[in-house]
């Protein structure tokens, strides 16, 4: 049974992995045996994350919203270091403002960071995976893939798009041996949600709204990521796995 879930001999690239969910997933996949490739734009933060992980950790600095930079970084890494067997598209951002006053430039940044990056990095890595006839792509969606909340309508739109792009990847690339799926976290205690975690009124509302009665902890996403990265999910494709304490199952 352990062979189904081992990631030994596999190499995983996680975008936006210098902190938060990305770093937690990097640690979790490393514990399952994977060799990790950290990504971000801040080389200092990447170096600190790599030091915290220990072991064999690569640092691949590029802007996931820059198509040419992504392609050059991925192609260069594959040529110089070796194959990327697992990709987790985790890079993302949030901007909270009521929709009628939402700034156009913030909307464009959300589109580029939350959707375009999934396309850019997914395409660059998949080109190599297709040639090998195998690969795992996991896109980080959100509870907002299925639900909306005031103040984050554009973010909700981007995460809905991530789920549908995941379906499109699976439809196109399953025939080449790739499994393309998404993980949709609920409300987790992360730097992106720091303002909400610090708000007693919001936390009280969330605990009442979520059947599990609490915020999620980032380590609780690791099991889903290891499953979707491993041989255990060999016939799972185009699926969005909600890890949300039951919030999408409950009114």
As given in the structure block, the two tokens for residue 36 are: 């990790």
What domains can be seen in the chain, in order of their start residue?
2-243 (3.40.50.720)
Element (H, E) at 171: helix 153-173
Per-residue confidence of the chain (251 residues) as pLDDT tens digits?
Answer: 679 999 999 999 999 999 999 999 999 999 999 999 999 999 999 999 999 998 889 999 999 999 999 999 999 999 999 999 999 999 999 999 999 999 999 999 999 999 999 999 999 999 999 999 999 999 999 999 999 999 999 999 999 999 999 999 999 999 999 999 999 999 999 888 888 999 999 999 999 999 999 999 999 999 999 999 999 999 999 999 999 999 999 98
Contact by Cβ (8 Å): 134, 179:
no
Rounded to two decimals, what is the model's pTM?
A: 0.96
Strands (E), the chain: 11-14, 35-40, 57-61, 86-89, 135-140, 178-185, 240-243
Contact by Cβ (8 Å): 155, 144:
yes
Mark whether 187 is an active-site residue: no
Contact by Cβ (8 Å): 112, 65:
yes
6 CB contacts (<8 Å, ≥6 apart)? 32, 33, 230
Q: Which of 155, 188, 215, 242 is catalytic?
A: 155
Counting every residue written for the chain, the total comes to 251
Contact by Cβ (8 Å): 186, 222:
no
């Amino acid at each position: 049974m352990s062979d189904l879930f081992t990631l030994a001999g596999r190499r995983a690239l996680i975008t936006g992995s210098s902190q938060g969910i990305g770093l937690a997933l990097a640690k979790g996949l490393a514990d399952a045996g994977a060799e990790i490739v950290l990504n971000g734009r801040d080389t200092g933060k990447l170096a600190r994350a790599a030091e915290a992980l220990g072991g064999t950790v690569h640092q691949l600095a590029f802007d996931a919203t820059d198509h040419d930079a992504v392609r050059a970084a991925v192609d260069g890494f594959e040529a110089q270091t070796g194959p990327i067997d697992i990709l987790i598209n985790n890079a993302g951002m949030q901007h909270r403002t009521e929709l009628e006053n939402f700034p156009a430039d913030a909307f464009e940044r959300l589109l580029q960071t939350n959707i375009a990056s999934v396309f850019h990095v997914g395409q660059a890595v998949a080109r190599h995976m297709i040639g090998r006839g195998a690969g795992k792509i996991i896109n980080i969606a959100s509870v907002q893939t299925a639900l909306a909340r005031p103040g984050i309508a554009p973010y909700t739109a981007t995460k809905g798009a991530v789920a549908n792009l995941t379906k499109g990847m699976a439809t196109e690339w399953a025939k080449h041996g790739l499994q393309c799926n998404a993980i949709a976290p609920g409300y987790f205690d992360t730097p992106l949600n720091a303002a909400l975690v610090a708000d007693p009124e919001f936390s009280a509302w969330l605990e009442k709204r979520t059947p599990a009665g609490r915020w999620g902890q980032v380590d609780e996403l690791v099991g889903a990521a290891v499953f979707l990265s491993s041989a255990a999910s060999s016939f799972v494709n185009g699926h969005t796995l909600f890890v949300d304490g039951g919030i999408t199952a409950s009114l």
